[in-house]
Amino acid sequence: MSGPLSGIRIIEMAGIGPAPYACMLLADLGAEVIRIDRASGGGMGANPGDVTARGRQSIALDLKKPGAVDVVLQLLENADVLIECFRPGVMEKLGLGPDVCAQRNPRLVYARMTGWGQDGPLAKTAAHDLNYIAITGMLDSFGNANEAPPVPLNVIGDLGGGSMFLLLGILSALLERHQSGRGQVVDAAICDGAISLLSTIHGLKGIGFWENQREQNLLDGGAPYYRNYLCKDGRSVSVGAVEPHFYAQLLDKLELDFGATDYLNQMNKAAWPERRAAMAARFLEKTREQWCDVFAGSDACFAPVLDLDEAETHAHNQHRQNLVRRDGVLQSAPAPRFSRTPGELKHGPIAEGQDSRALLQQLGFDASVIAELMANGAVKQAD
């Protein structure tokens, strides 16, 4: 095993959303991740397109059948972390709540991933990424003025506010365990994490530097120098020249003159609409690739807006080997990088229950008991 998390054992209750992605990252970084799948199936199994399921072992259980819950508890006895993403109260109904699991393993970090959190008026209501970020103030900040907000990819709520804060909680609890010797419950919620991601915006608003109206602010497309523009060929480019010396280079490459390039001139909001129009007209004069040639090597904070296929062939992504193909599917390489203990993409997704028999044998179950568990449907071994 390679990776800085080698030696850490994670038990994952199969689900959707932020938890599978978090477990993918943990597996990439060396953790042993055992996914508890439903014996009834219903998942993507060994589908190579289920990228976030890579790097796992799988045991398929029907937790309503006799003996299945005991299998989970025995798995937890030597585990470091349990990750579950059910609605509040589901694990308790299954007989696998935090108190029960802590009795079997006091050092266990019990990580709970939900949209709304474990309590509150919305805690048990159904929703998805878009809903979770809607009540944070974040969604209303996206898009063009006087239009409904666009639908962003779920990387902001599910993965940014969810997976990343789940991982932060897990790793923090593991570090604390070195001092106390005890595990604890981590309550990670997409809504909570998304609000935290707004910290910079809260600060700007607190000093009167951010308005609730869209396209009136530095980072929401209002500033002409922090915006995406359409080119002659219908493709787009991005500019982010916030600092005055970068802004000066941007105007130089565009051959535009807005007078002084100091910060006060840049922040003259009254002039932003006119300058946006001037820059939009200038970018329409050339194709995206022509503008790439113009800005090559500059510090104007410029980059082409690439689609998913183009991203694979971009020189920087190729040099960093940011994208790899496994079983014909393009996907991210393990990140971040480590000098001594690099992460590794161990293998692609596997069938649900592929490791059921082997894991039961590792736990010390007698062959006759394994046969009984499989006969009554508590455990399923993939074909």
The number of beta carbons lying within 10 Å of the beta carbon of residue 175 is 9
Categorise residue 353: left if φ over 0, alpha if ψ from -120 to 50, beta otherwise. Answer: left
Structure tokens at 337: 């990088």
Q: State how far the Cα of 25 lies from the Cα of 164, in Å rounded to an integer.
A: 10
DSSP code string of 284-305: TTS-HHHHHHHHTT-SS-EEE-
Segment 197-203 long-range contacts (CB within 8 Å, at least 24 positions apart): 197/138, 197/156, 197/160, 197/161, 198/136, 198/137, 198/138, 201/141
Which one is catalytic: 28, 37, 80, 158?
A: 158
Which residues face 61 on adjacent strands? 38, 379
Catalytic residue among 50, 62, 128, 314: 128
Half-sphere exposure of 84 (CA within 13 A, CB side): 20
DSSP 94: H
Q: Does the annotation count 202 as an active-site position? A: no
Distance CA 295, CA 68 (A): 61
Phi, psi of 376 (to 5 degrees): -85, 0
By annotation, the residues acting in catalysis are 128, 158
